Structure formats: structure tokens, C-alpha cells
Structure 1
Amino acid sequence: MDQGSQLPDADERVTSREQDAVRLLLLIDGVCESVPEVDLAQPGLGEAVGVVRTQVRLQKLDFWLRNPDYLADELLTKYEESGERRLLELAGLILDSEEPEVRRYPMLRHHFGAYEPLDDALAVLRSAGLLVRRRRGTVNRVRQHDYYLLAAGRDVARELIREASDFQYYVDRVALVLDLADGRGGSQLKKQQYLQREYAEAARGDRIGSVSVRARARLETLRQACAAAQEGLIDD
């Protein structure tokens, strides 16, 4: 990585409504689960092809997508737990590049962890007939939001990928995010993300700071340990 290059300050970088809409469409398309028959029978959901349960889960998955430095650091954690070299290599692909700087869009620290208002972006998808949001609970207390991807939304997502190769980046990163999530719900993901000091100690209402410096140092340490282990095997 060229440490001397001049990059915009990622801590101040924000996304547009259109950028958020595209990213969320590709995220939902990549991580959604199958729609139960009972849901398909509901009015307006007959064309649903997938669902993401709860706004909390969507926000936590989006955090990793918007913050490649945190994504890479989680890959390193998973590598330490499993010893799977592929995870070390994937983290290296991110941290050896400028991706943590040029692809990072920080989120606000909210009462429930990382948060960024998504209503405007989701409204773009809903108004275009690509997504349906359903609230569960009572009139006075919404218990959760579920996001149903419609067949038209999947068609648009696949068309975006075919016509603009740059969007393949999000497809690849969504696959990593889904692998890291490992079927966990929003509350479990929130607990995992709170283990990051920079995340947990951010003042409420402030943007969550980067872990790229620490993650890159950690990557180097793990690479050296891996190389030493390999040398030991060869010597034996």
C-alpha cells in the first residue's frame, strides 16, 4: 500500500441515498433467507424471493460491509479460532490494499451499536417495487422489521452486477459478511461487534473510528507466526 497517497478523510465520508439503495439491495439479495409459505400467502408478498429478519441484523451486516477494516479484523479473529489459511489470505487482500480507506463509510454509534438511518434508501427500493417492509408487533410497539426482496429486486440486483463490474466488489464482500455472520441474529452480531474497543468506546452520536492500523499490525504478527510454524514443520 502506498502510505504517501492522499486519500479523503474516511471519518467524514458519507454515502448518498442512491449509493445506500444499491448497497442494501445487493446486501439483502446476498444474505436473505428463504420465504416461508405462510408469508408468501400474505397480500403483497406473493412475489417475495427472500427475507432479512430484523432491522438490527440488517444494520449489523451493513456495518461490516461499510467498514472493510472491521471485516478484515473479524476474518483474523476467525482465522485464530480455526487456523484456516484462506481467512488469513482474505484479510490480507483487504488490509494490503487501500480498501479500508477508500471503501470505508463509517456509521454512527447508537444506543444499540452501529446505526445509520436507512429509511430513505429503503424507500427508494420500496417505491420501485423491489422490496417490501413489514412491521411486526402492535400499533404502539413495533417489535421488528422484516425486509422482503421481491423477484423484481433480484432481477435488478443481477442486472446491476452484469452491467457494472464494479458492483462485483459488493457481491464478494457480502459473501464474506454472510460467512462471518454464520447464521447469527442481530443481537448476537451486536455483541460480537461490541468486542472491538473502538466500537464499544465511541461516544453515542459519534462516528465509529477505524481499526485499520491495529488490524494491519495484527495481520503482520499472524503472518510471522504462520511462517514460523511452517518453517518448523519443514525443519521437522
Structure 2
Amino acid sequence: MTLAKMTQNVTILIRLIMSIAEAPQVSISIEVPTIPSANLTGEVVPPMIAHDPIKIIRRVDWGAQPPLGPSPALSAIPTPYVVIGHTETDPCLNESNCIQQVRRLQNSHIQWNKWDDIGYNFLVGGDGNIYVGRGWNVEGVHTFNYNKKSIGVGFIGDFDKVSPNEKQLRAAQQLLELGVKFRELASDYKLLGQKQLIRTASPGEQLYKIIQTWPHWRASP
């Protein structure tokens, strides 16, 4: 190859490089859609998002048995009531123990109470996690005359003489905040203890004193 030909090729290559460098930059963004999950009634419910402050353990993750039958939807969505109870069991302080407690509770509710599933919509562990029972929008079995129009939240443990730890209390509050955010709960929902509605000591004297200080608590329905 002659020197002139080589010089010509180099000149062409330099021009090509300069044209690429001067070309406008194109920014491409890809938006990945979030797929909502379904609750026990098959209805679509809002997904939990990455920056939500609590860890929510799904039924499949705690090894739930399938419900024995379909659970009816609540009569009002957003739901106007939240009922707080306790499980009157040993407390749990780590995820493994809490999963065992939730499984035992479901077994008890199905085998001994003859219910079709675990009674509560959600359970709160001493590990600071939320365990999905029946979930949002679904009628539970926890408080007679209020099952159709409330979300039942059960604190794992017995809180008559001792109080839940801070992680457990905060997780419950954050769950309710998410409920309002996603319009699962009415913005003016009423918070009640089980003992206000049925003949029971639940949610225990110490926990009941605490929820009376929460902003949505009401002295009567």
C-alpha cells in the first residue's frame, strides 16, 4: 500500500471518529411495570413498594395451608374499622419463631375452631414483621358482628401483664399507615380493641392502654 493511500485511510478514520463524538447523545429509559398481587378473594390489591418501612411476610413465605373455602370480601372498602387483638400465645422475637407461631395459630383455628382459615387479617410479630393472614379486603373471623366491616390485627403474644416491644408496635402502626395510603382503610377509620366489642380480655390490658393513645382509637364504635 502506498504512503498516499495510507494517509487517505487515516484521514477517513479520523473524520469517522469525530462524527461519532459530535453526534447527539440519546438517553433511553425503560419503565418496568409493577404487577399487583391478589388477595384470597382474587381481587387485585396494591403492591408493597421497595421503600415501604416494614417487612411483610406473605402466606406462601410462612407456609400457610390453603383456606378450606373462599373468603367473602368485606362489606365496605375502604374499611371503616380496625380491631386490635392478641393471640394469647408465647411471644416471638425472630422470623423463624414467628413463622412457627403463625402456623400453629392457623392449625388451631382450622382444627379446633372449625374455621376455614386463620382468623386475623394480619399478625404482628415481635421481630417487627407483618404476617399476612387473610389480607386486605377479606372478611376475617376475629370479632363477632364486626368481621364484615373491619381489619383484624393480631399481636403475637400475651399482653395482659407485659407490653409489646417497640418494633412490634411500630410495625402495626406502619401497616395501618399503608392501609390508608393505598385506600384499603378509610382515612377516618376507627381503631378499637377486641374487648370493646366482644366478651374477651384481648388485646390484653397493657396493649389496650397503648392503643388508647393512638390517634384513631375511639372509646365507642
TM > 0.5 between the two?
no
TM-score (norm 1): 0.22
TM-score (norm 2): 0.23
Task: Work out which structure has the larger RCO, using CA pairs closer than 8 Å and 6 or more positions apart in sequence.
Answer: 1
